[in-house]
């Protein structure tokens, strides 16, 4: 029997029927309390029974009468304990977007996740490397992207960190069916260019 296992035991003391809730415990094995039922309702009988914990000492009796409502952890603000610099929540804006499909014939694998990136800082944070000519940047969040499964989870994370954010909705294209025979329909006026797309 585990620590939280509860068993019920009944015993008869003459004409008095005693019912107890027993749970194993490691301390005070000698004194136990039982709540009686029957003729002496709500009376407490002091007896000795090893291996059982009395109802008055059980976790059920120690619970408060009014249980508080479940607190939503998403309402907490974590920017104080996150360790991020303070300017990330005061002077930076976060963009939440969904990457578009590439122009090649590749699949839409990159567009399945919602991503989060930071706005670019001014020119004072960028310079040209004198050795090779590469563009360098002092912005430590420029190449950082966070990925989320849903838009709601990304918004909830940004709100919990205290970041200013906006959502860039993806442009969903609706393709209509095209028939090749439509290229040869009669149209008044000059001849039109034959387009297959």
Please give the pLDDT value at position 133.
Answer: 85
Q: Which CATH code of 2.30.30, 3.30.160, 3.30.70, 2.60.40 fits the domain covering 80-168?
A: 3.30.160
Please give the pLDDT value at position 147.
Answer: 94
Model confidence pLDDT, tens digit, residues 158-171: 988 888 899 999 88
> Can you say whether residue 27 is alpha, beta or left, with left for phi > 0 and alpha for psi between -120 and 50 degrees?
beta
**Residue of higher predicted confidence among 58 and 103:** 103
Tell me, yes or no, if the pTM score tops 0.85: no
**Residue of higher predicted confidence among 88 and 97:** 97
Model confidence pLDDT, tens digit, residues 123-133: 767 888 888 88
Q: Where are the domains of the chain?
A: 7-62, 80-168
Three-state SS for 19?
strand
Model confidence pLDDT, tens digit, residues 138-155: 888 888 899 999 999 999
Give CA separation, 106 vs 45, 73, 102, 114, 170, in Å: 78, 39, 7, 19, 18
């Amino acid at each position: 029997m585990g620590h939280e296992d509860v068993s019920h035991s009944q015993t008869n003391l003459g004409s008095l029927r005693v019912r107890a809730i027993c749970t194993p415990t490691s301390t005070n094995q000698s004194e136990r309390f039982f709540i009686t039922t029957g003729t002496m309702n709500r009376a407490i009988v002091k007896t000795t029974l090893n291996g059982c914990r009395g109802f008055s000492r059980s976790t059920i009796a120690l619970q408060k009468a009014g249980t508080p409502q479940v607190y939503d952890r998403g309402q907490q603000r974590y920017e104080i304990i996150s360790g991020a610099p303070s300017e990330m929540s005061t002077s930076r804006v976060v963009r939440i977007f969904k990457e578009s499909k590439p122009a090649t014939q590749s699949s839409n694998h990159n567009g399945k996740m919602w991503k989060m990136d930071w706005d670019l800082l001014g020119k004072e944070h960028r310079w040209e490397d004198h050795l090779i000519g590469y563009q360098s940047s002092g912005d430590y969040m420029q190449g950082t992207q966070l990925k989320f499964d849903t838009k709601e989870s990304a918004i909830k994370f940004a709100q919990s960190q205290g970041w200013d954010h906006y959502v860039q909705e993806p442009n969903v294209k609706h393709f209509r069916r095209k028939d090749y025979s439509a290229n040869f329909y009669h149209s008044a006026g000059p001849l039109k260019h034959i387009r297959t797309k």
